[in-house]
Amino acid sequence: MLRDITLGQYYATESVIHRLDPRVKLVGTIFYIISLFCFRNAWGYGAAIVFLALVIRLSKVPFRFMVKGMKSILFLLLITVVFNLFLTPGEVLVAFWKLKITKEGLVLAVTMAVRLTLLIIGSSIMTLTTTPNNLTDGMERLLRPLKLFRVPVHEVAMMMSIALRFIPILLEETDKIMKAQLARGADFESGNLLKRAKAMVPLLVPLFISAFRRANDLAMAMEARCYRGGEGRTKMKPLIYRKRDYIAYLVLVIYLVGSIAAGRML
Amino acid sequence: MSIILDHVNYIYGEDTPQAVHALKDICLQIPDGQFVGVIGHTGSGKSTLMQHMNGLVRATSGHIYYNGQDIYDADYDLKALRGKVGLVFQYPEHQLFEVDVFSDVCYGPKNLGLDKKEVELRAFDALRKVGFPQELFYQSPFELSGGQKRRAAIAGVLAMKPEVLILDEPTAGLDPKGRDEILDQIKELQTQTGMTVLLVSHSMEDVAEYVDRIIVMNQGSVLFDDTPHQVFAHYKELEEVGLAAPQVTYIMNALKENGFCVDTSVTTIKEAADEIMRAFQ
Amino acid sequence: MGIIKTKNLVYEYIRRDEEGNVEGITTAVDKVSLNVKAGEFIAVLGHNGSGKSTLAKHINAILSPTEGTVWVDGKDTAKEENLWEIRQTAGMVFQNPDNQIIGQVVEEDVGFGPENLGVPTKEIWERVEESLKAVGMYAYRKHSPNKLSGGQKQRVSIAGVMAMHPKCIILDEPTAMLDPNGRKDVIRAARALNDVEKITIVLITHYMEETIYADRIFVMDQGRIAMEGTPREVFSQVERLKELRLDVPQVTLLAHELQKRGLRLPKGILTTEELVEALKCLSY
């Protein structure tokens, strides 16, 4: 069930966007999100849509694949639109029973929908084109200055990448234990909330025990392979900026300045 | 009274590009009281097949009849079926969760909605049947040795008093001593109670001396389904699909090729020794 | 002095009840002395709880002896300053294939050890390539470990240890959770490292068929070394092995049975070919 969520799951293919340094993609995503909140007119959003379309094209990730991932958050999007549509006070356009649609509400709902959609697709491009490992590496490098404030950046990055490695294993394990308890007559689906919560105990206890056992084993295996924290470690795949990364930064700055100028002044 | 599988197909991840045809047109009949070995290597579909037998996995097409009733009928009680067809998963000790062994074994019968006395009677009986030492009944299941944990987990299924017991690689990860003890116990259980037992394994040598019938699975299909003697006669085909017959089979065939007049269908050491002695006299 | 040497090694741990009171002391390893020469293939056989895994964890300095001494390549494992050098000299592969792979891509996992050692980037890539080739997993270098079979995962783990350029590798029941095909591949990889790269191998197992090709076998029982010798010497003592509840190859069992019934066969027959030859000699 959880495996069906494709929102932002890495899509393996070869493209310029895939090859970009993860730091460029991280910074780019942040820039893009900031830009979305600076616009005051439709021109800005127009620029954002054109820019996004270009990036999607370059990434070679099929648009259909992204839309499929959107399905899981469609509900959230709908709620936002409905709330904005009906609950914004202002000049009434349509009214039936107690519900009123105002002009301001309509504008706000459309803006929110566009903004949210762009935000989600925009940030999913980053995860669609970057392996989780690469992403953690990028974050580790970008956050390195925080080390000065004694933030354990390396350790956090290592924890994230280990978590990512074990998520599929634990999902599979959950499925197995669930089946095993079903075979012993367990019922995870009927009864009230309390009964259902209680029914989860035979699933959660074994899962926790297994997770701890794995953590223990893994710690031992890491020590046996001479792991002793970030000090003195070298990298197999060090992050190095190349020409295309500098070009990408340049394009980003042009976009940011251009779209905000258009979005606020035109 | 039996389990019948009628043209069962199972496709994993249908309508995705990675669809896998895990079971292909399986037709099988398991009569009451039989001791069956199901052999195949990882990915042959043997575990998936077993999960069909108690309705945990639903076939993509085909029918399964338990005691003459189609288990896919809308009004069929699948929960009751899981009580009748007990399934012990691989590494079953990973499902233990209660504070002590006895409460854990009670979990299955309690789910069947029995009264407390009956639940406890069944748990006690099941633990005794798997040879679990009484002084450990109220120990935490997590403090037991590997072999004891496995016994406790098997008792957890047995306590539901199933008519059919399926064990998915019950000896995986155990040492030779633990393996022999568990297999002997299962054999004894089968003889005593006369229940139908399906034993899934990837080792021919382990099951050869225990079972009446061997079903060999390969790539989602039934490759052989016969008595051990007959199945091992195909030792060359078994080799091709990455399974091996017991070493005795190889020895007897090698002897025959070297001009000894021996019967190659024997499966145990004792039979083989008898045969060789006979050839020498 | 050999690559691995132990003298009167004792390891005890204290059992505690739920309140933390001492219940008793278990001696997992009891006065074990052994000497492994560089380049040897050693098998340690024994059932669960015989102390074989505890012994293995001492060679990698994961455990420290209660009494006695362990030397790896001449260095005392109890000394803190030797720790990382010992872990690099004596690499270790564990039982559960899932719980020792750190990387999300095969090649990244193999690079983990060299990264920890501070090996320069270019050399890491060379080491990863040669190690994956040595275990026959180079074709899978870009794969996710989750998609591999158990046997393949274990071979990746062996490559991960190889890439640290150890002098010896300890395999702690690497095949216990694998199917027969995976088991064969792992043992084949271990033997190749021993033959080609001359790496000392210590294989801990409870499957006797994996020990047939070893130079020497140690059989452990109740924390002690119960038997020691070449496979032929060890397997010729069928009765003793049965007492220790260990498996004996079916062909050895059959030969033993035939001997009991009066056939005069040589002792310690290990393979089908040997038995057929011996029987042929008898029939003429």
Q: Report the 3 state secondary structure along B164-186.
A: EEEEECCCCCCCHHHHHHHHHHH
The DSSP element (H or E) to which C273 belongs, if any, is: helix C272-283
Q: Is A184 on the interface with B (CB under 8 A)?
A: yes
Chain C: residue whose CA lies nearest to A211: C99
Cα separation, C269 vs C231, whole angstroms: 10
Amino acid in position A128: L
In chain C, residues with a C-beta closer than 8 Å to the C-beta of A132 are 104
| Residue C208 pLDDT class (50, 70, 90 cuts) | confident
- The beta-carbon contacts of B225-231 under 8 Å, at least 24 apart in sequence, are B225/B28, B228/B37, B228/B267, B229/B265, B229/B266, B229/B267, B230/B265
Q: Using the beta-carbon criterion (under 8 Å), do B89 and A182 form an inter-chain contact? A: no
Residue A3: predicted pLDDT: 47
The closest of B65, B63, B50 to B1, measured between CA atoms, is: B65
| DSSP letters spanning A118-179 | HHHHHHHHHHHHS-HHHHHHHHHHHTGGGGGGT--HHHHHHHHHHHHHHHHHHHHHHHHHHH
Cα separation, B249 vs A215, whole angstroms: 44
CA of residue C268 relative to chain centroid, distance: 23
Distances (CA, A) of B56 to A186, B61, B73, B107, C128: 12, 15, 15, 18, 43
The closest of C265, C194, C193 to C236, measured between CA atoms, is: C265
What is the domain extent for residue B41? Answer: 32-59+76-228
Q: Using the beta-carbon criterion (under 8 Å), do B244 and C273 form an inter-chain contact? A: no
Cα separation, A233 vs A188, whole angstroms: 47
Place of tokens 């216990």: C176
Instruction: Determine the average pLDDT of the residues in B169-196.
Output: 90
- Token pair belonging to B154: 């098997």
Q: What is the DSSP letter of C18?
A: T
Q: Which residues of chain A have pLDDT under 50?
A: 1-4
In chain B, residues with a C-beta closer than 8 Å to the C-beta of A182 are 56, 82
What CATH number is given to the structural domain containing C33?
A: 3.40.50.300
Cβ C107 vs Cβ C115: under 8 Å: no
Residue B62 gets the label, from left (phi > 0), alpha (psi -120 to 50) or beta, of: left
Distances (CA, A) of C15 to B136, B148, C22, C24, C63: 17, 19, 6, 5, 17
Cα separation, B153 vs C91, whole angstroms: 35
- Token pair belonging to C206: 């409870």
Instruction: Determine the average pLDDT of the residues in B92-109.
Output: 94
Of C100, C105, C121, the CB nearest to A217: C100
Cα separation, C21 vs C26, whole angstroms: 15
Q: Using the beta-carbon criterion (under 8 Å), do B97 and A210 form an inter-chain contact? A: no
Q: Who's near A28: CB < 8 A, 6+ residues apart?
A: A126, A248, A252
Is the torsion defined by CA of C150, B19, B240, B252 positive or negative?
A: positive
Q: Is C202 on the interface with A (CB under 8 A)?
A: no
What number of other Cβ atoms are within 10 A of residue A238's Cβ?
10
Cα separation, A106 vs A90, whole angstroms: 10
3-state secondary structure chain B: CEEEEEEEEEEECCCCCCCEEEEEEEEEEEECCCEEEEECCCCCCHHHHHHHHCCCCCCCEEEEEECCEECCCCCCCHHHHHHHEEEECCCHHHHCCCCCHHHHHHHHHHHCCCCHHHHHHHHHHHHHHCCCCHHHCCCCHHHCCHHHHHHHHHHHHHCCCCCEEEEECCCCCCCHHHHHHHHHHHHHHHHHHCCEEEEEECCHHHHHCCCCEEEEEECCEEEEEECHHHHHCCHHHHHHCCCCCCHHHHHHHHHHHCCCCCCCCCCCHHHHHHHHHHHHC
Cβ C165 vs Cβ C15: under 8 Å: no
Chain A: residue whose CA lies nearest to C101: A218
Q: How far is C95 from chain B (nearest CA, A)?
A: 10
What number of other Cβ atoms are within 10 A of residue A12's Cβ?
10
Of A185, A201, A209, the CB nearest to B108: A185
Q: Using the beta-carbon criterion (under 8 Å), do B156 and A177 form an inter-chain contact? A: no
Q: Who's near B215: CB < 8 A, 6+ residues apart?
A: B28, B36, B37, B38, B39, B222, B224, B225
Structural domain contains residue B108: yes
Q: Using the beta-carbon criterion (under 8 Å), do C115 and A235 form an inter-chain contact? A: yes
The closest of B190, B191, B144 to B165, measured between CA atoms, is: B190
Largest CA distance in chain A: 71
> What are the tens digits of pLDDT across the range C32-74?
999 999 999 999 998 888 899 999 999 999 999 999 999 999 9
Distances (CA, A) of C102 to A225, C45, C94: 11, 29, 13
The answer to whether residue B195 scores a pLDDT higher than 50 is: yes
In chain B, residues with a C-beta closer than 8 Å to the C-beta of A179 are 51, 56, 89
The DSSP element (H or E) to which C108 belongs, if any, is: helix C106-117
Q: Which of C148, C272, C274, C280 to mutate to test the interface with B (most CBs of B within 10 A)?
A: C272
Cα separation, A234 vs C69, whole angstroms: 33
Structural domain contains residue B247: no
Subunit partners of chain B (3 or more CB pairs within 8 A): A, C
Instruction: Determine the average pLDDT of the residues in B208-234.
Output: 91
Q: Is B242 on the interface with C (CB under 8 A)?
A: yes
Residue A1: predicted pLDDT: 37
Q: Using the beta-carbon criterion (under 8 Å), do B176 and C47 form an inter-chain contact? A: yes
3-class secondary-structure state, position A225: coil
Q: Using the beta-carbon criterion (under 8 Å), do B277 and C176 form an inter-chain contact? A: no
Q: Using the beta-carbon criterion (under 8 Å), do A226 and C87 form an inter-chain contact? A: yes
Subunit partners of chain C (3 or more CB pairs within 8 A): A, B
Structural domain contains residue B37: yes
Number of B/C CB contacts below 8 angstroms equals 84
Pairing mode of beta strands C168-172, C75-76: unpaired
The answer to whether residue B252 scores a pLDDT higher than 70 is: yes
Q: Who's near B135: CB < 8 A, 6+ residues apart?
A: none
Structural domain contains residue B242: no
Q: Who's near C5: CB < 8 A, 6+ residues apart?
A: C34, C35, C36, C70, C71
Cα separation, C207 vs C238, whole angstroms: 15
Q: How far is B245 from chain C (nearest CA, A)?
A: 12
CA of residue C144 relative to chain centroid, distance: 26
Phi, psi of A37 (to 5 degrees): -90, 0
| Residue B25 pLDDT class (50, 70, 90 cuts) | very high
Q: Which of A225, A228, A237 to mutate to test the interface with C (most CBs of C within 10 A)?
A: A225
Q: Is A136 on the interface with B (CB under 8 A)?
A: no
Q: Using the beta-carbon criterion (under 8 Å), do C104 and A161 form an inter-chain contact? A: yes
What is the domain extent for residue C104? Answer: 4-231
Place of tokens 């496995």: B150
Residue B1: predicted pLDDT: 63
Cα separation, A207 vs A176, whole angstroms: 10
Chain A: residue whose CA lies nearest to C57: A224
3-class secondary-structure state, position C62: coil
Of B95, B142, B160, the CB nearest to A180: B95
Q: Using the beta-carbon criterion (under 8 Å), do C250 and B248 form an inter-chain contact? A: yes
Place of tokens 């398991």: B30
Structural domain contains residue C105: yes
DSSP E strands in chain C: the ranges are 4-16, 22-36, 41-45, 67-72, 75-76, 90-93, 168-172, 200-205, 216-221, 224-229
Q: How far is A211 from chain B (nearest CA, A)?
A: 11
What number of other Cβ atoms are within 10 A of residue C38's Cβ?
14
Instruction: Determine the average pLDDT of the residues in C135-163.
Output: 93
The closest of C161, C146, C134 to C106, measured between CA atoms, is: C146
Amino acid in position A225: R
Residue A7: predicted pLDDT: 57
Q: Using the beta-carbon criterion (under 8 Å), do C206 and B175 form an inter-chain contact? A: yes
Q: Is B41 on the interface with A (CB under 8 A)?
A: no
Cα separation, A108 vs A252, whole angstroms: 27
Domain count of the fold of chain C: 1
The DSSP element (H or E) to which A64 belongs, if any, is: helix A63-70
Q: Who's near A206: CB < 8 A, 6+ residues apart?
A: A177, B94, B95, B96, B97
| DSSP letters spanning A78-112 | HHHHHHHHHH--SSEEEEETTEEEEHHHHHHHHHH
Q: What is the DSSP letter of C170?
A: E
In chain C, residues with a C-beta closer than 8 Å to the C-beta of B175 are 47-48, 206
Residue A2: predicted pLDDT: 43
Q: What is the DSSP letter of A117?
A: H
Domain count of the fold of chain B: 1
Q: Using the beta-carbon criterion (under 8 Å), do C254 and B175 form an inter-chain contact? A: no
Mean pLDDT rounded to a whole number for chain C: 91
Residue B115: predicted pLDDT: 92
Chain B: residue whose CA lies nearest to A210: B94
Q: Is B126 on the interface with A (CB under 8 A)?
A: no
The closest of A179, A173, A175 to B56, measured between CA atoms, is: A179
Distances (CA, A) of B260 to A160, B251, B255, B280: 65, 11, 5, 9
Cα separation, A160 vs A136, whole angstroms: 7
Cα separation, B272 vs B275, whole angstroms: 5
Structural domain contains residue C46: yes
Q: How far is C52 from chain A (nearest CA, A)?
A: 17
